[in-house]
Structure 1
Amino acid sequence: MWDDWNNDSPVQTQVFTNSSDYSNWRDNSQPRRPRDDRRNNGYRGGNRGGPRRGGNDDATMIKVPSKFVGKIIGRGGSKVNDLQFESGAKINITKETEGDETFIRLSGTNDAVSKAESLIRELTIERDSYVREVKEEEPPPQLDEPQEEPKIVDWRAVFAKCDELEAEKWAALPPIKKEFYFEHPEVTAMTEDEVEAFRLESNNIVVERTFKTENSKPVPKPVVTFEHAFHKYPEILEEMKKAGFTRPSPIQSQAWPVLLSGEDLIGIAQTGTGKTLAFLLPALIHIDGQNIKKSERGGPAVLVMAPTRELALQIDKEVKKYEYKGITAVCIYGGGNRREQIKVLTDGVDIVIATPGRLNDLAEAGHLEVKYVTYVVLDEADRMLDMGFEPQIRKVMYSIRPTRQTVMTSATWPPGVRRLAQSYMVDPIQIYVGTLDLAATHTVTQIIEIIPDDDQEKFRTFMNFATNLDPSEKVIAFCGKKARADELSTELTLAGLQCQTIHGDRDQSDREQALLDIADGTVQILIATDVASRGLDIDDITHVINYDFPRNIEEYVHRVGRTGRAGKSGKSISYFTRGDWAQAKELIAILEEAQQYVPEELYKMADRYASWKEKKDASRPPGRGRGGGRRW
C-alpha cells in the first residue's frame, strides 16, 4: 500500500527492543533516560486487559511533524483511542520534540506496531502538497506531414438535428384528440351583454388570453347549467345528479367549455371553489375520447401533480367518487407503499396523481412512462414552486409530448407561476374568480385577537375556546412548530377532549387516519402544521384557529381557506402578538378587502413596525445589508 510513499515522509521510525535505555533510537548527544514500563497495561485502546500475545513486545519510536499531533490525538483523545483500538498497539505521544517534530512511542506486537505506524502515516500525509514524480516522456519526433485544422462545431446544426429527432420521436406516437365540446343552443344564443352580466354575478369571473396574439381564438362562453356543458355525455350528468350538485361553481362554468375545447387553462381562484372538479370531468372525457386503448397505450393518459401528500390523496378521493367508462386512477407519493404503487402502474392505469418527488423517482426507475400522457394538471402550482419543486416539474414536463393539453391551477399569480405558464403552455386562457390580488374567501368571518406575547396567556385563550365547543363544530388549529402541535394535543387529551394531530414527523398512515377522524366526526379538533394548510377538503370545518400566526400572509390565506368551503360559512380566529407585527400591514389589507373588522390595535402595530423598520434601515451603514453584504 506504500509503494508510492514519498521518501521524504513526515514520519520517521526508530525501533528499540526491551533494553534498559533508548540508545537504539536516540543519538548519543541526547541524555539517556531509563525506560518506563509502568503504562504497559491499562491504557485505553488496543488489546485491552493484559499482555499481548502473538509476537515480541518491541517498542518503536516514530517522529511526526508537531503540527499533526492535535490531529492524531483528536477531540478529547478520541482519535488516538480509535487508533489504539484499530491497531492493537499502545500509542504514547511523548512531550519530547526535536525541532519541529514530536516523538511518539508505539508498543505491542510487531503486527500491531506496524498497523499503528501505517495509520499514523495515513493521518500525516500532506495530500495537497504531495506530488508524485512522473518521468516526462520525450515528445514524438515532429513529422513534416500537414496538421489537420481543429474542427469547428456548428451548434445550430446540432440543435436543429436534436429538434428533428425529437419531432420524429413524438410523431411516432398516436395523435391526440382534444376537442370534445359541443356548445349548447342556449349558450350559443347568449348575447355578449348576457355573458358579461353572468360573469359579473358569478363572483366577477374574468377570462382572457394570458399571452394573446393575433391568431388567438375567441374565448368560449360560460355555461349556466350542467346540461349546457355535458349534454352529449349523459353518464357525466348522471354522476353529477348522484353527487347532489345543482349548478356549476363560477370557475367550473367557465373552465368546462375551455377545457372541453382542447385549450390550455390557467385557473386562479380561492380555495374551496371547485377547481378539482373543473379539471377532472374534462379529463375523464379526454381519456375516453382517445383513439388508443389502455392496453396499447403503455402508460397513463392523464397526469396530475400536487405539492403535498394530503392534496394528492384528496384529489384521488375525488376522482374515485365518479364512475365513468371504467377509468382507473392511482395516487403515488412519498411515504406510501412503493411496491403497491409500482404494481398498479405495471397493471395499467389511466390517471396518475402524484407528488413531484415520488413521480420522478418512479419515472427514473422505469416504472412509470410519461411519454404517453396527453393531459397534464399542475394543481396548486404556486405552492409547488414555494416548496422548491420547479426542477422536478420541468424534468417531467420535458418528457411529455409538447402537443399535450395543460392545466394549471393556483390561488395566486406570482412571477414564478407566470414563468412556468410561458414555458409549458400554448396560448393559455386564464380564468380568475374575484381578483388577482391575494384575498381570503369572503364566506369566512375573520377575527383577530390581539393577545400579550405570552405562551401561557395564548394557551389559556385556546383551551377556553376548545372546552366550549358545540358538538356540531369542527376545528383545525394551526401551529408553527411540530413540537407545539404535539404539546397542544397532549393538553387537550388530558383535559378530556378528543383530538388528532397532523405534521411532517407523523407516519403517513397516522396522517391519513387523522384526516379520516376529523372528517367522520370521531374527533372535533385537528392540530396541524402548515403541511395541512392546503389541500384539505373537509366541507364541515366550522372554525380555523391560527394558534401561531403564519410567517407569511399567503399561508394565512390558505389556512383561512380550510373553512367556509362548498358555499358554507366559517370562522377563523387568529391569535396575534407583538412578535407578529411584521405581518400587520398585509393582514389589514386582507381584512379590508373582505370587509372584515380591523382592530384599532392592529393599525397601531402596523404603524409602530413601519417606524421601527425605518429607523433600523436608517442606522444601517450605507452599502451594507444584513450580514455585511453578499458572500458570493
Structure 2
Amino acid sequence: MYDDWNESPVQTQVFTNSSDYSNWRDNSQPRRPRDDRRNNGYRGGNRGPRRGGNDDVTTIKVPSKFVGRIIGRGGSKVNDLQFESGAKINITKETEGDETFIKLSGSNDAVSKAESLIRELTIERESYVREVKEEEPPPQDETQEEPKIVDWRSVFAKCDEMEAEKWAALPPIKKEFYFEHPEVASMSEEEIEAFRLESNNIVVERTFKNEDSKPIPKPVVTFEQAFHKYPDILKEIEKAGFTTPSPIQSQAWPVLLSGEDLIGIAQTGTGKTLAFLLPALIHIEGQNIDRSKRGGPAVLVMAPTRELALQIDKEVKKYEYKGITAVCIYGGGNRREQIKVLTDGVDIVIATPGRLNDLAEAGHLEVKYVTYVVLDEADRMLDMGFEPQIRKVMYSIRPTRQTVMTSATWPPGVRRLAQSYMVDPIQIYVGTLDLAATHTVTQIIEMMPDDDEEKFRTFMNFATNLDPSEKVIAFCGKKARADELSTELTLAGLQCQTIHGDRDQSDREQALLDIADGTVQILIATDVASRGLDIDDITHVINYDFPRNIEEYVHRVGRTGRAGKSGKSISYFTRGDWGQAKELIAILEEAQQYVPEELYKMADRYSTWKEKKDASRPSGRGRGGGRRW
C-alpha cells in the first residue's frame, strides 16, 4: 500500500497545550524546539511526560484499521509503547475519513521515539495469501519419468546409524556397583516374601515382561547390607540419624546399584528421594573418566515444582561424598547465578523442566554427558503439562543412560514415558497400585452447605483453637482465596504465611522456612504446595476447598503423617464437590476411615444425575454431538 516511509500512512502535526487545535502546521516543517530548562537541562531518556508540565503535544494520524494493533489486547501494546518511548500516548476518538488521531506528549526524544514505534506498527505487512491464477494443467508427457519413491526405511536406518556414531564418541557408562552381602545372598525365597509382605507389602516385578531379563535383586534389610563396600556412604547415613531403610529403599538400592532402570511407585514421605540419591552419588564417583573432564553434569533430576526441586537440592547437600557438587535451577531463581554454577562445573543438576530447557537451548547446560536421569513425581509433571519439555530433554541424553522414575500413581501417561525412555525397567511399588492415602493420617470429612460463611466460620474456629505444638497447611482452590484467608487470620491476631504462584520466589521460600521452624503455625497454600514439601511436623491438613481431582486430594493429605508420624486431615465437602464423592469414598474405605452417610447419598444422587444427563444427550454426529476430527 505504501512503497516507503515518505508515503507512510502516519501524518504529523504539532500544537502547544491548548484547546484550539485548528492551526496545525504542515508535516514538512521542523518541530518547534522546546526550552530545555523546563526539564532542568535534561533531554531525552525514558522519563516520560511530566504531570502538569508545558510539554508540546504532537498529533499524528494513522489508518483506523491499525488502531487495534497499537492498543493491543487489554491495552498491553500501548502500555509497552509508552514504557519504551517515555512518551504519553493518547488514542483519541477523533477521526478524519478512515484515519484516527493519536496525541503524543513528552520530551522531544520521547515523542520521536513513540512516533517511530507507531510507524513500525502501521507498515503494511506482506500478505501471506497469494492469488493463484487458474491455469489449464500442462499436457501429460507420456515419456516423463515416474516420481521416485523414497525408501524411508533406509532413511531411518541412516539416521539411527548417525545417532549411534554420535553417542559412541562419548566414554562408556559404568552402571554396576552392587556387591551382594552374604546375609542377603543366603536369604531364601520364603524369607524374602515374608520381608516384603511385612514391609508394607512391597511388590517388585519387571514392568514389561521379558523372558530374557536378569533375576531381580533381593531386598536388603539393613544399611550395612546395601553399602558395605562404601563406608563413606554409611558414615553419612549414620550422621543423618536413620536406623533402618524404608520399604522402598530396601528394594530400590540393590536394583539401582545393579545398574537397572527403576520405576518407584510409593506415596509421598516414604523415602523415595534417598532411594535414588545414594546410588547416584556412587554412580558419579564410579565412572572411568575424572569428573573434571566430563564436560557436563553426570546426574540430572527433573521435578515438577520449584519447592520440590529445592527440597531435593537440600537433601542432596546433607550428604558430603567425595566432593560431589549440585545446583538447583528453576524459574524465578537467579538465572545469572545458576549459569555461573553450571559454567564452573557441577555433578548433579536438579531442575524444573521449563528452566532446564531454557538453559540447555541457550547453551549453558550440556546434557549429553548425563548418565543417570531421575524423573521425580513423574505423574505430577505430566499433570502440569511438562511432557513436551521432558521428551525434548530425554532425546538429548544418550540412550544408554540409567533412568529412574518415581511417582505416587501409575496413570497411562507415566506408563507411556516408561515405554519410551526406559530399558526393561524394574517396578517397585509399596502398598498398592490403586490410589490410596497414607494410613498414618486420620481423614475427617465435614459436610458443609454451599455457604462460604459457614465454611469460613468453621475454619476460623479451628485456627483460633490450635494447640501451640500443632502446625497446619490449609489448601485453597484459588490464589485470591488464599490471600483472603491470610488477611482474615492476620486481623484476628494469628500469625500465618501464604504460598501460591503469584508470590515471588523469595517470599515462597520464606513461607516454607517460617512454617518449618515454627515462626508461624499456619500455612495457606494452593496446590503448588500439595506435593514434595518435606515438613515432618505438620499435624493437620485442611482442605478448605476440596481439590478438583482425587489424586490431588491424596497428595494434599500426604503433607501430614510423614516419616511414620501420625496426622489428621479435615476436608470441607459441599454439594459442589459431589462429583468427587464416589472416588473419595473408595479412598476412605481403603484406609478404613469413617464415611459420613451423607457422602454415600451424595455419590448416589450424582450417579443418577449423570446417567440422566448422558441419556439426554443427542446421539449421532449432528450439531454439537459426535466425534470431531
TM over 0.5: yes
**What is the SS of the residue equivalent to 1:94?**
strand
CA shift, 1:161, in A, is: 1.5
**8 Å contact from structure 2 (residues 277, 316) kept in 1:** yes
Structure 1, unpaired ranges of 5+: none
Q: Does the CA-based 8 Å contact 1:443-1:569 persist in structure 2?
A: yes
Deviation at 1:369, TM superposition (A): 0.4
CA-CA distance at 1:240 after TM superposition: 0.9
* CA-to-aligned-CA distance 1:252-285 (integer Å, 9 cap, x gap): 0000000000000000001100000000000000
For residues 33-89 of structure 1, give each alpha carbon's deviation from its aligned partner in whole angstroms, at most 9, with x where no partner exists. 9999999999999999x9999999999999999999999999999999999999999
Could you tell me how far apart the structure 1 residues matched to 2:213 and 2:626 are?
47
Instruction: Tell me how far 1:101 sits from its aligned partner.
Output: 15
Structure 2 CA distance for partners of 1:190 and 1:628, relative to 1, 3 Å: same
The more displaced of 602-611 and 332-341 is 602-611
CA shift, 1:487, in A, is 0.6
Task: Name the SS of the counterpart of 1:573 in structure 2.
Answer: strand
Match of 1:245 among 242, 246, 265: 242
Q: Secondary structure in 2 aligned to 1:566?
A: helix
Contact 2:474–2:542 (Cα < 8 Å) also in 1: yes
Alpha-carbon distance between aligned partners in 2 of 1:61 and 1:337, rounded to the nearest angstrom: 43
Alignment equivalent of 2:210, drawn from 210, 213, 224:
213
Q: Deviations over 1:356-393 (max 9, x none)?
A: 00000000000000011000000000000111111110
CA distance in 1, matches of 2:264, 2:531: 16
Are residues 25 and 426 of structure 1, via their aligned partners in 2, closer, same or farther at CA, if it must alter by over 3 Å? closer
- In 2, are the aligned partners of 1:89 and 1:116 still within 8 Å (CA)? yes
Q: What is the SS of the residue equivalent to 2:577? A: helix
Offset of residue 106 of structure 1: 20
Deviation at 1:616, TM superposition (A): 2.0
TM-aligned CA deviation for residue 586 of structure 1 = 0.5
Equivalent-residue separation in structure 2 for 1:30 and 1:327 (angstroms): 70
Distance in 1, Cα, partners of 2:483 & 2:59 = 59
Q: Deviations over 1:326-346 (max 9, x none)?
A: 000000000000000000000
Q: Deviations over 1:197-249 (max 9, x none)?
A: 00000000000000121211111110000001001111111111111100000
CA drift of 1:405 comes to 0.3
The 10-residue stretch of structure 1 (543-552 or 98-107) with the greater mean CA deviation from structure 2: 98-107
Say if 2:379 and 2:413, in contact at 8 Å, map to a contact too: yes
Who is 1:407 aligned against? 404
Relative to structure 1, the CA distance from residue 38 to residue 272 in structure 2 (aligned partners, 3 Å threshold; closer, same or farther) is closer
Deviation at 1:570, TM superposition (A): 0.4
Of 137, 143, 156, the residue aligned with 1:139 is 137
CA–CA distance in 2 between the matches of 1:236 and 1:35? 75
The change in CA–CA distance for 1:452 and 1:45 in structure 2 (over 3 A counts) is farther
* Deviates further, 131-140 or 597-606: 131-140
Secondary structure of the equivalent of 1:589? helix
Aligned partners of 2:430, 2:293: CA distance in 1, in Å? Answer: 40
Q: Rate the CA distance shift 1:621–1:35 in 2: closer, same or farther, 3 A.
A: farther
Shift of 1:153: 3.2
* Distance of aligned partners of 1:147 and 1:205 in 2 relative to their CA distance in 1, 3 Å threshold: same
Residue matched to 1:2: 2
Are residues 82 and 577 of structure 1, via their aligned partners in 2, closer, same or farther at CA, if it must alter by over 3 Å? closer
What secondary structure does 1:391 align onto?
helix
Deviation at 1:617, TM superposition (A): 2.1
Q: Which residue matches 1:125?
A: 123
Distance (whole Å) between structure 1 residues aligned to residue 27 and residue 228 of structure 2? 110
Q: CA deviation at 1:154?
A: 2.7
How many angstroms does 1:439 deviate by? 0.4
How far is the alpha carbon of 1:618 from its aligned partner?
2.3
User: Larger deviation: 440-449 or 98-107?
Assistant: 98-107
Alpha-carbon contact 1:413-1:436 (below 8 Å) kept? yes
- Say if 2:331 and 2:352, in contact at 8 Å, map to a contact too: yes
What is the rounded CA distance, in whole Å, between the counterparts of 1:397 and 1:554 in structure 2?
Answer: 26
Quickly say closer, same or farther: Cα 1:601–1:10, change in 2 above 3 A: same
**Preserved contact between residue 85 and residue 111 of structure 2 (Cα < 8 Å):** yes
1:496 aligns with 2:493: yes
Whose Rg is larger? 1
Q: What is the rounded CA distance, in whole Å, between the counterparts of 1:58 and 1:77 in structure 2?
A: 24
> Is the CA contact 1:275–1:409 (under 8 Å) kept in the aligned structure 2?
yes
Q: Do the aligned partners of 1:58 and 1:108 also contact (CA within 8 Å) in 2?
A: yes
Aligned to 1:577: 574
Q: CA RMSD in A?
A: 7.9
CA offset at residue 354 of structure 1? Answer: 0.2
| Structure 2 equivalent of residue 306 of structure 1 | 303
- C-alpha distance in 1, partners of 2:363/2:387? 21
Give the alignment's TM-score, normalised by structure 1.
0.80
Q: Distance in 2 between matches of 1:362 and 1:128?
A: 34
Post-superposition Cα deviations, 1:102-145, rounded to whole Å, max 9, x if no partner, equal: 99999999999999999999999999999999999999999x99
Between 1:32-41 and 1:312-321, the stretch displaced more is 32-41
| Cα contact 1:263–1:428 (8 A) shared by 2 | yes
The CA distance in 1 between the partners of 2:567 and 2:89, in whole Å, is 73
8 Å Cα contact 1:467-1:497 kept in structure 2:
yes
Of all paired residues, the percent bearing the same amino acid is 94
| Number of aligned residues | 629
Residue 377, structure 1, aligned to residue 374, structure 2: yes
Report the more deviating stretch, 620-629 or 581-590. 620-629
Change (3 A) 1:85 1:195: closer
Residue 103 of structure 1 aligns to a residue whose secondary structure is strand
Pair 1:84–1:469, CA change in 2 (3 A): closer
The structural deviation recorded for 1:631 is 5.7
1:277 to 260, 265, 274: 274
Residues 307, 3 of structure 1: alpha-carbon distance in 2 compared, 3 angstrom cutoff? closer
Hey, what's the Cα distance between the residues in 2 that align with 1:237 and 1:486?
45
2:38 match: secondary structure: coil
CA change 1:157–1:502 in 2 (3 A) is same
Runs of 4+ in 1 over 3 A off after TM superposition: 1-5, 7-48, 50-142, 144-153, 623-632
Q: Name the CA distance, whole Å, in 1 between partners of 2:138 and 2:569.
A: 83
**CA pair 324-141 structure 1, distance change in 2 beyond 3 A:** same
CA 1:394–1:120: 2 relative to 1, 3 Å: closer
Whole-angstrom CA distance in 2 between matches of 1:89 and 1:275:
56
How far the C-alpha of 1:292 sits from its partner, in A, is: 1.0
Is the CA contact (8 Å cut-off) linking 2:619 and 2:625 kept in structure 1? no
Alpha-carbon contact 1:45-1:84 (below 8 Å) kept: no
- Equivalent residue, structure 2, for 1:196: 193
Q: 1:179 to 1:495 in 2, by over 3 A?
A: same
List per-residue Cα deviations over 1:481-514 (Å, max 9, x = no partner): 0000001111111111111000000000000000
Q: Determine the C-alpha separation between the residues in 2 that align with 1:557 and 1:336.
A: 29
Alignment match, 1:562: 559
The counterpart of 1:56, out of the listed 31, 51, 54, is: 54
What does the per-residue CA deviation read over 1:288-347, in whole Å, with 9 as the maximum and x for residues that have no partner?
100111210000000000000000000000000111110000000000000000000001
8 A contact 1:14–1:60 mirrored in 2: yes
Give the secondary structure class of the aligned counterpart of 2:392: helix
Note if contact 1:545-1:572 (Cα within 8 Å) is conserved in structure 2. yes
Report if aligned partners of 1:501, 1:526 keep a CA contact under 8 Å in 2: yes
Residue 162 of structure 1 and its aligned partner are, at CA, apart by 1.4
Residues 111 and 378 (structure 1 numbering): CA distance in 2 closer, same or farther, change over 3 Å? closer
* Corresponding position of 1:37: 36
TM-score, scaled to structure 2: 0.81
1:51–1:42 Cα change, 3 Å: farther
Q: What is the alpha-carbon distance in structure 2 between the residues aligned to residue 91 and residue 314 of structure 1? A: 47
Contact kept? 1:46, 1:86, Cα under 8 Å:
no
- Distance change (3 Å), C-alpha of 1:161 and 1:455: same
SS in 2 for 1:93: strand
Q: Unpaired segments of 5 or more residues in structure 2? A: none
Q: Does 1:542 align with 2:539?
A: yes
Q: Partner of 1:83: helix, strand, or coil?
A: helix
SS in 2 for 1:317: helix
Distance in 2 between residues matched to 1:32 and 1:255, nearest whole Å: 77
* 1:613 Cα offset (Å): 1.6
SS in 2 for 1:512: helix
Structure 1 residues 288, 146: CA separation in 2 closer, same or farther (over 3 Å shift)?
same
619-628 or 363-372: bigger deviation: 619-628
The change in CA–CA distance for 1:535 and 1:75 in structure 2 (over 3 A counts) is closer
Shift in Å, 1:614:
1.8
How much does 1:159 deviate? 1.6
Q: Is the 8 A contact 1:477 1:546 kept in 2?
A: yes
